[in-house]
């Protein structure tokens, strides 16, 4: 059995591709999900990867969920914080609930997931944490003050945690995908999709598997000299 990798939001979209990529690379993978039982059951049947349901915005739920994963599979040595939601609207129309839901799920979850595993990683002298941020955390996006703030916060969290654990064999990195061809993105109206693609220099959407390959690269044992980094994968739409 390979090292245990836990992926949040792991049964659909980018998370599904990450789980499959890590399994193909030899890791023992666990997939967390938040709500869609039907999609999770289908994912489990197709991949053989065990699934675990809990709300990543809830610290106690994360602690209990991680404990279950570790009891069944072994200590989590690779953590991929991929789970995220959107509640898009301009700030002058945004409710407190829309703000808090996105901040708690997209940013608060990093504390909720990292806190229960970081001590074990430090004690064992090995760990890989990969946080999935976003192009909109780098450049901002109209109608997404909540999402952009959370994803920008993910990058700051990554840099600070990387510094704290660099001498303990634990790396912490962020990936900022651009527009990826998930079911959610492909479901937007055709003219909107065309306008998105027109802004991407490579002339197409990214594929979930392309983000998965970035994760597999950063999760590797021999990626130990890369920490505190932000890997931008957006087809040239925003160049940092």
Q: Which of 27, 33, 52, 147 is catalytic?
A: 147
CA–CA gap between residue 62 and residue 69 (Å, rounded): 10
Cα separation values, 183 from 45, 162, 207, Å: 20, 33, 11
Q: Are 60 and 35 in contact (CB under 8 A)?
A: no
- Tell how far CA 196 is from the center of its chain: 22
Instruction: Name the 3-class secondary structure at 136.
Output: helix
Owner of token pair 């306008």: 195
> Is 147 tagged catalytic?
yes
Cα separation values, 109 from 38, 59, 106, Å: 23, 8, 6
Point out the residues that are catalytic: 147
């Amino acid at each position: 059995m390979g090292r245990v990798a836990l992926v949040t939001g792991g049964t659909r979209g980018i998370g599904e591709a990450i789980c499959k990529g890590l399994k193909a690379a030899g890791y023992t993978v666990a997939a967390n999900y938040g709500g869609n039982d039907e999609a999770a059951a289908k994912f489990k049947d197709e991949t053989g990867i065990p699934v675990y349901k809990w709300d990543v915005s809830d610290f106690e739920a994360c602690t209990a969920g991680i404990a279950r994963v570790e009891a069944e599979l072994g200590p989590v040595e690779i953590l991929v914080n991929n789970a995220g939601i959107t509640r898009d609207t301009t700030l002058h129309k945004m409710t407190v609930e829309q703000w808090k839901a996105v901040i708690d799920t997209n940013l608060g979850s990093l504390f909720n997931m990292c806190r229960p595993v970081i001590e074990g990683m430090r004690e064992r002298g090995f760990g890989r944490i990969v946080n999935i941020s976003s192009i909109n955390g780098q450049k901002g996006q109209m109608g997404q003050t909540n999402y952009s703030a959370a994803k920008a916060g993910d990058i700051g969290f990554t840099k600070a945690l990387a510094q704290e654990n660099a001498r303990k064999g634990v790396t912490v990195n962020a990936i900022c995908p651009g527009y990826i061809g998930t079911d959610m993105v492909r479901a937007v109206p055709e003219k909107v999709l065309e306008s998105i693609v027109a802004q991407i220099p490579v002339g197409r959407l990214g594929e979930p598997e392309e983000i998965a390959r970035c994760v597999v690269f950063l999760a590797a044992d021999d990626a130990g000299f890369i920490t505190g980094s932000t890997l931008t994968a957006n087809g040239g739409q925003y160049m940092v």
